[in-house]
């Protein structure tokens, strides 16, 4: 398993469940808002209260509020999706950078071992 695969699998194990939990929280808050039962309002006609709005306006305001909640939920869903994608790209870039670093370190270690071997050989062979 390469370093990129290890980092990617760790990211998927941790980040994706976290994002799913966030999405569930957002969607459940929207569904709770939709399921909330209104309190009973005493029946009074529009003529009895001097500052009440006509019933049609109240319905339209309720519908607009519902549409706003739906739009907010969809926007949150898009944001979460973009966040997951960006995090995946970041993990991939980090894994590739780590892989390049490990490769360079391995090459440098190999060169160091080779030079050390040559120095030891010179010491025991009597060459100077």
pLDDT per position as a tens digit, 7-46: 667 766 776 677 677 667 776 665 555 555 556 666 655 5
CB atoms within 10 A of CB 95: 19
pTM greater than 0.75 = no
Q: Cα–Cα distance between 103 and 109 in angstroms, integer?
A: 10
pLDDT at 65: 87
pLDDT, tens only, 64-123? 888 888 898 899 899 999 988 998 899 989 999 999 999 989 999 999 999 998 888 888
């Amino acid at each position: 398993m390469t370093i990129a695969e290890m980092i990617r699998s760790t990211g998927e194990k941790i980040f994706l469940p976290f994002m799913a939990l966030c999405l569930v929280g957002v969607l459940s808050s929207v569904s709770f808002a939709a399921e909330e039962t209104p309190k009973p309002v005493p029946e009074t006609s529009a003529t009895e209260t001097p500052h009440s709005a006509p019933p049609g306006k109240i319905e339209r305001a309720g519908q607009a509020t519902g549409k706003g909640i739906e739009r907010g939920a969809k926007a949150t869903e898009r944001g979460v999706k973009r966040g997951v994608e960006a995090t995946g790209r970041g993990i991939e870039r980090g894994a590739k950078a780590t892989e390049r670093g490990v490769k360079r370190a391995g090459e440098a270690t190999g060169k160091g071992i080779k030079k050390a071997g040559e120095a030891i050989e010179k010491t025991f062979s009597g060459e100077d």
